[in-house]
């Protein structure tokens, strides 16, 4: 089962974990065969929100929700169950600086 691990960090903690460490942890997860995809994100100032209303495109600056912690990256992992997903999430280095939200992926009903 796939879980998306969303990494949240306060703005001043965005670079608290060195890139090298993040890259290495991603590599380890990839070697274990549990990582589907992982990326770090540019800060929230670069975000653009897109909506379509009545067929009309609406583009606004900034994220959809203002929160203290911002989405800083994600790991899409393949785990047997929530316990394994939690165990993987606990190995994501920014977990010690911010928080990691673990969300099960929903299979689309065809």
Per CB under 8 A, residues contacting another protein are 1, 80-83, 86, 102, 104, 106
In the complex, what is the shortest distance from the CB of residue 30 to another protein, in angstroms, rounded to a whole number? 22
Cβ burial, residue 106 (10 Å; 0-12/13-18/19+): exposed
Question: CB within 8 A of 30, min separation 6: which ones?
Answer: none
Q: Copy the structure tokens of residue 30.
A: 């990839």
Please name which of 9, 65, 12 lies closest in space to residue 40, comparing C-alpha atoms.
9
Nearer to another protein, 53 or 80 (CB): 80
User: Closest separation between CB of residue 77 and another protein, Å?
Assistant: 13
Kindly state the smallest distance separating residue 79's Cβ from another protein, in Å: 8
54 versus 83: smaller Cβ distance to another protein? 83
């Amino acid at each position: 089962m796939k879980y998306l691990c969303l990494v949240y960090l306060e703005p001043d903690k965005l670079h608290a974990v060195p890139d090298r460490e993040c890259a290495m942890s991603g590599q380890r997860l990839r070697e274990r065969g549990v990582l589907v995809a992982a990326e770090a994100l540019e800060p929230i100032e670069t975000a653009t929100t897109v909506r379509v209303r009545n067929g009309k495109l609406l583009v606004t600056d900034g994220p959809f929700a203002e929160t203290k912690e911002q989405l800083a990256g994600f790991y899409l992992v393949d785990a047997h169950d929530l316990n394994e997903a939690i165990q993987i999430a606990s190995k994501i280095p920014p977990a010690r600086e911010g928080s990691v939200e673990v969300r099960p992926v929903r299979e689309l009903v065809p």
